[in-house]
Amino acid sequence: MSDVRALLAGREVELGDGPYLERVDAKRAPWEARLRTWLAKLPRFDGRRAQRFLDATNALEEATRVFDDDTLRTNLAAEARRMHREGFTDVCLAASFALIREASRRTLGMRHHDVQLLAGRTLLQGRLAEMSTGEGKTLAATLAACSAAMTGAATHVVTVNDYLAERDAEHNTPLFDFLGLKIGVVLQDMSVADRRTAYACDITYVSNKELTFDYLKDAIAMGESSRTQQRLAEFAGGRAGEPPILRGLHIAIIDEADSVLIDEASTPLIISETLPDDLDPTIYTRAIELATSLERDVHYAANHHRDIWLTPGGKVHVREVTAEFGGMWRSAMWREEFVQKALSAVHGFQRDQHYILADDKVQIVDESTGRVMPDRTWERGLHQMIECKEGCEITGQRRTLAQITYQRFFGRYLLLCGMTGTAQEVAAEVKGSYDLSVTRIPTHKPTRRRNLGDIVCASSDLRWEAVARRAVEVASTGRPVLVGTRSVEASERLAALFGANGIEHAVLNARQDKSEAEAVAQAGGAGRITVATNMAGRGTDIKLAPEIEQAGGLHVILTEFHESARVDRQLFGRCARQGDPGTTEAVVSIDDDLFTRFAPAPLRAILASLVRGEHASEKLLRRYVTWLQDRAERHYRRQRTDTQRRDAEWARALGFVGKSRR
């Protein structure tokens, strides 16, 4: 407990009774979340205090410049002891940040900007700092991470993927080394022993998924020895009697916090076991064959949210054609369940959009991040149906053994904070679900990002032609172009078009993720065209050669609006970073998902009539898109609320049978 006093800052926090420090799940009445959601909308008057804090930090700068390295370190250790006693007060933080800033100048060659000092302070106040894209969150986080770690707290810097965890850790290592802080990185392929070593460090860089799974494994290993728990322990690597992997949930600094806390929070993280599949494999093949032969609006109906169901006529038809199959096909419930699953597999989930085939396996692609999620499978037989559709080996069905949502997991940290470029739309939800308030941090320099407007095409084919034309036009002026696509399929379609026309380009998607760092490193070259999925949408820092600035900087083309305006803004945020120039534009089609799934039919018809030739009225289109994106966000918000409710029920049920703390 002694090493986290600074984090608690006098707050009354109920702690769990497990082997390491964490909070117990908050028991809140629904009205509390609503009240917090409402409170999130109130303005915060902190300007004067923030300015005083900046003045105090800057006033110490000159003095820190003359310290030799050892004095710098000794003084920071003394400040850490003070923070330990007094908490992260402005006075302590000003002194600590001034020293870390100087250490960074000496080791990384980068002096924290004032706005980064404000972001660091916001983090240690347990808030979410909204810093525009490219403003330097990686460096800003070092202020909070070093200060917290110096007080002895286990400091987790949470990133959205392994690539960013490794990149950010590597980037900041000289600073941490200088300050004598041990740094660890957790990556997907690491053994339990290596993970434990990484978490034992002062600061650990880790992706949200790895961290949460490691926590679940600990929870399992610490559980009681019921049959389920025993199997869980085996899953965790037979670690009976071994120390936990983590050393506690002290402080989490979440980068790209809206992605982790909102977008990824619609599904719980699950540890499951494979059940021996006692279903006859012909059930899958027959169901898929049958589903392929059924007619839409005759035998089955579907809505834009991928819900598919058999019509009464369809049910009769299925009963008739399966009459001779026998076995489980005799039960109406199972028969209809199989066929509905198969219909979803055939019509609702598409290869290279929702999943890819890699090593002869169906691997889910996370649409918002563009990355494969090798450990995830769809539930209740859907994954097996898709495997059957694709002719892959059918894996056993999986049964949930332990699960947790991000809402519950991150709520257990003693101090939770985060950063992102795009928080304003979800500020109320973040406050309601995590009790995190958003503080907007100003930019270091005025932004020089210019939006060139939107082009709406009458069909997808016309869109790809227009995108290719625009990319070539801009690249021929010596500027690099980043084209953002929504799926592997779309990225490859555009790449094929470039290829057919002999236009040099690079591709970054879930199938080509091995060369990610290299693709990003080269994407800022003169006249370079890079086609990427959302993999390049967040966190990616495309460095520009000096002559590119003269030419106008990076140009970003968005080829399809995402359901979330935040994801679009993140893609646009790849250009015009740190005061550089840059331009953006959207070249989309009326066939896109946002329009077909979220626009009511009459409005779709109006849009189609507005698209004369290629262009629609720009202002009108913008409003329309914003309205659709609001609708879509509301839809997903409802999904998240549902997930949270089901997770709470799951946890309550386990508590009732007394099998686990979760």
Ligand X SMILES: Nc1ncnc2c1ncn2[C@@H]1O[C@H](COP(=O)(O)OP(=O)(O)OP(=O)(O)O)[C@@H](O)[C@H]1O
- Looking at beta carbons only, is 360 or 518 nearer to ligand X? 518
Stretch that binds ligand X, among 127-135, 364-372, 458-466, 644-652 (CB under 6 A): 127-135
Instruction: Spell out, one character per residue from 488 to 507, where the chain touches ligand X: x when CB under 6 A holds, - when not.
Output: --------------------
Per DSSP, the three-state class of 592 is coil
Neighbours of 130 (CB within 10 A): 22
541 known member of a binding site: yes
Considering only residues 57, 75, 138, 559, which one is a binding residue for ligand X as defined by CB under 6 A? 138
- Looking at beta carbons only, is 286 or 574 nearer to ligand X? 574
Residue 131 contacts ligand X per CB under 6 A: yes
Binding footprint of ligand X, residue count (CB under 6 A): 19
Tokens encoding 589: 């089609």
Considering only residues 139, 150, 529, 628, which one is a binding residue for ligand X as defined by CB under 6 A? 139
CA angle centred on 563, ends 361 and 649, rounded to 5°? 70
Neighbours of 48 (CB within 10 A): 8
- Looking at beta carbons only, is 138 or 397 nearer to ligand X? 138
453 known member of a binding site: no
Strand partners, 364: 355, 373
445 known member of a binding site: no
**Shortest Cβ distance from residue 586 to ligand X (Å)?**
19
Residue 223 contacts ligand X per CB under 6 A: no
Phi then psi dihedrals of residue 86, to 5 deg: -100, -10
Concatenating the DSSP letter of every residue in 252-301 gives EEETTHHHHHTGGGGS-EEEEEEPP--S-HHHHHHHHHHHHHPPBTTTEE
Concatenating the DSSP letter of every residue in 112-180 gives PPHHHHHHHHHHHTT-EEE--TTS-HHHHHHHHHHHHHHTT--EEEEESSHHHHHHHHHHHHHHHHHTT
Report strand pairing: 300-302 vs 308-310. Answer: antiparallel
439 known member of a binding site: no
**How far is Cα 105 from Cα 528, in angstroms, rounded to an integer?**
32
Strand partners, 552: none
Residue 578 contacts ligand X per CB under 6 A: yes
- Looking at beta carbons only, is 15 or 110 nearer to ligand X? 110
387 known member of a binding site: no
User: Measured in whole angstroms, how far is the alpha carbon of residue 74 from the centre of its chain?
Assistant: 38
Query: Residues 124, 88: contact at Cβ < 8 Å?
Result: yes
**How far is Cα 368 from Cα 267, in angstroms, rounded to an integer?**
13
Instruction: Spell out, one character per residue from 524 to 543, where the chain touches ligand X: x when CB under 6 A holds, - when not.
Output: ---------------x-x--
Neighbours of 149 (CB within 10 A): 24
Residue 113 contacts ligand X per CB under 6 A: yes
Instruction: Spell out, one character per residue from 67 to 106, where the chain touches ligand X: x when CB under 6 A holds, - when not.
Output: ----------------------------------------
Task: Write the CB contacts of 111 (distance below 8 Å, at least 6 apart in sequence).
Answer: 101, 104, 105
Residue 449 contacts ligand X per CB under 6 A: no
**Shortest Cβ distance from residue 209 to ligand X (Å)?**
18
Phi then psi dihedrals of residue 302, to 5 deg: -145, 150
Q: Which helix (H) or strand (E) holds 403?
A: strand 398-404
135 known member of a binding site: yes
350: left (phi over 0), alpha (psi -120 to 50) or beta: beta
Considering only residues 421, 480, 484, 581, which one is a binding residue for ligand X as defined by CB under 6 A? 421
Considering only residues 127, 195, 577, 640, which one is a binding residue for ligand X as defined by CB under 6 A? 577
Residue 135 contacts ligand X per CB under 6 A: yes
Stretch that binds ligand X, among 15-23, 131-139, 269-277, 287-295 (CB under 6 A): 131-139
In the complex, residue closest to ligand X by CB? 136
CA-closest candidate to residue 342, choices 300, 400, 312:
300
- Looking at beta carbons only, is 170 or 504 nearer to ligand X? 170
**Shortest Cβ distance from residue 579 to ligand X (Å)?**
10
431 known member of a binding site: no
**Shortest Cβ distance from residue 529 to ligand X (Å)?**
20
- Looking at beta carbons only, is 139 or 551 nearer to ligand X? 139
Per DSSP, the three-state class of 397 is coil
Stretch that binds ligand X, among 135-143, 175-183, 425-433, 595-603 (CB under 6 A): 135-143
Question: Which ranges constitute the DSSP H helices of 179-268?
Answer: 192-200, 208-221, 227-235, 257-261
- Looking at beta carbons only, is 420 or 660 nearer to ligand X? 420
Residue 198 contacts ligand X per CB under 6 A: no
**Shortest Cβ distance from residue 421 to ligand X (Å)?**
4
**Shortest Cβ distance from residue 104 to ligand X (Å)?**
8
Considering only residues 87, 120, 126, 134, which one is a binding residue for ligand X as defined by CB under 6 A? 134
Query: Annotated binding residues for ATP, as ranges?
Result: 116, 134-138, 541
Q: Which residues bind ligand X (CB under 6 A)?
A: 110-113, 116, 131, 133-139, 421, 539, 541, 573, 577-578
